[in-house]
């Protein structure tokens, strides 16, 4: 199933930063979200780009980013487009 995050119950969604999504001259689309000290303090194993109105997942990645703690602010940036 590729419709959402799989690591329930440790999941946290975040809105995109105000300047995103952005479309640089390369034709790619950049997405960026910030997770403050009180957000998403657990092991990060996956991410999704999901339309908040339709709940359609546009992209999903599975990778181990490590464990975020309350002493850290993390930003996640995803680039989509032609390889």
Start-to-end C-alpha separation, the chain = 25
7 or 59, higher pLDDT: 59
Whether this model's pTM surpasses 0.95? no
Give percent of the chain above pLDDT 90.
47
At 57, phi and psi to the nearest 5?
A: -85, 125
Per-residue b or e along 57-72, where b marks 16 or more CB atoms closer than 10 Å to that residue's CB = eeeeeeeeeeebeeee
């Amino acid at each position: 199933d590729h419709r959402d995050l799989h690591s329930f119950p440790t999941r946290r969604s975040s809105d995109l930063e105000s300047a995103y999504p952005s479309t640089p001259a390369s034709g790619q689309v950049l997405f960026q979200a910030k997770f403050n000290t009180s957000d998403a303090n657990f092991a990060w194993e996956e991410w999704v780009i999901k339309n908040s109105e339709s709940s359609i997942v546009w992209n999903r990645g599975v990778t181990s980013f490590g464990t975020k703690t309350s002493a850290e602010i993390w930003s996640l940036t995803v680039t989509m487009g032609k390889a």
